[in-house]
Amino acid sequence: MKLIGKPFLYQATFPPALTGKTGDVYYTIYNANGSVYTAKTQAGVNELGAGSYGVVLTFNNAVTLSIYWEMEGTPYVASETINIYDDAEVFEAIAL
């Protein structure tokens, strides 16, 4: 579970042949309504190994977003939904 203020690793895995392409990997973060939350960037992207790339992100409010990965010059993309929860809300729900 991803909580407010806690860092979490988000990653995308491309074919292993695309190792060593950190300079070509970008991500964009979108709000649930499709508007841009964070514009296309390479900020913080690191290679994790064999075509896998990631970034550690922290969010300061409860929100539902999506992260969209792309590798420039290739047809490869990846995406996932990001759900950030307020831990107070989570513990209230458990107490019920």
pLDDT at 8 over 70: yes
CA distance 79 to 64: 13
29-39 pLDDT, tens per residue?
A: 999 999 999 99
pLDDT for residue 90: 54
What is the H or E stretch that residue 93 is in?
A: helix 87-95
pLDDT in tens, 40-90: 999 999 999 999 999 999 999 999 999 999 999 999 999 999 999 987 655
Q: Where are the domains of the chain?
A: 2-95
CATH placement of domain 2-95: 2.60.40.10
